[in-house]
Homo-oligomer: A and B are copies of this chain.
Amino acid sequence: MKQISRFSHFGELSDKDYFRIALSVDCVIFGFEEGELKVLVIKCNIKEYKGMWSLLGDLVRPDEDINSASYRILKERTGLDDVYLEQVHTFGKVNRHPAGRVITTAYFSLVNIKDHQLKLSDNELHWHPVKEIGDMAFDHKNILDTCIERLREKVEDHPVVFNLLPKKFSLRELQSVYEAVLNCELDRRNFRKKFFMMDWLVDLNELEEDVPHRPGKLYKFNAAKFAKKAKKIS
């Protein structure tokens, strides 16, 4: 490590004092299952928060970009390579971690639980409904809330929810994801109208199967039109 004393404009601290902070990354991995928005959590094994749910995170390695670190965590925990990931906020309270000074950068990720039958790394891992999650370890509830809020804003005018769905989906499923994320009810006719206008969907000329009612048409996301400006969903 090279000298970095030139950083310190106010000389009370020596360089090595600044290296007593560790940096971690925490991933809020969202999925969609049974009509609910879920988050991937793990039982905490640190004594102060024993048994509480915590997010998936790890320390950033000295030779690793923080973005890479978050992809690494996702890969290690879910086996997924190509996922939607977005940095949200960095949490830096002095006492947020009982084990020492750890500043953490939070990301949220959107994955599709069904398609790949995720290879979870650990059977302590659990898809928990976002609505019903109570206290969590550390400041993870706060991190989760911040990420949900951000996800809601994002979803309003960016086509990201497709990451939560299988490749082929019905309009009902699509609407249902929006309703789960935004925690509200949407008008079916207006919803459909909006999506057709935005040109984000490709009609696959296939029908749902194994549904106990009239099957809906299946669509896929039209990646080519991704750039097209969105109208507000809700």
Please report which residues of chain A, range 1-55, place their CB below 8 angstroms from some CB of chain B when the two chains form the complex. 1-4, 6-10, 13, 17-24, 45-46
Question: Is A187 on the interface with B (CB-CB < 8 A)?
Answer: no
A60 to B8, CA, bound (A): 10
> Is A19 within 8 A of B17, CB to CB?
no
> Is B24 within 8 A of A7, CB to CB?
yes
> Is A66 within 8 A of B46, CB to CB?
no
Question: Is A177 on the interface with B (CB-CB < 8 A)?
Answer: no
Question: Is A65 on the interface with B (CB-CB < 8 A)?
Answer: yes
Interface of A is mostly: loop
> Is A66 within 8 A of B45, CB to CB?
no
Contact A100 B2, CB 8 Å, known A8-B59, A22-B18, A92-B60: yes
A9 to B69, CA, bound (A): 13
- Chain A 94-110, CB within 8 Å of chain B: the 1/0 string? 10001111110100000
Question: Is A89 on the interface with B (CB-CB < 8 A)?
Answer: yes
A98: chain B residues at CB < 8 Å are 2
- Chain A 63-95, CB within 8 Å of chain B: the 1/0 string? 111110100000010000000000101101110
A2: chain B residues at CB < 8 Å are 98-100
Question: Is A58 on the interface with B (CB-CB < 8 A)?
Answer: yes
For A63, the closest partner residue in chain B by CB is: B94
Nearest CB in chain B: distance from A123 CB, A: 15
- Chain A 140-177, CB within 8 Å of chain B: the 1/0 string? 00000000000000000000000000000000000000
Known: A23-B103, A60-B92. 14 other contacts (CB 8 A): A1-B20, A2-B100, A3-B99, A4-B22, A4-B99, A4-B100, A6-B46, A7-B99, A13-B62, A21-B22, A63-B94, A64-B94, A65-B94, A90-B105
Residue from A2, A59, A105 having most chain B Cβ neighbours under 10 A: A59
Residue in B4, B67, B92 whose CB lies within 8 Å of A92 = B67
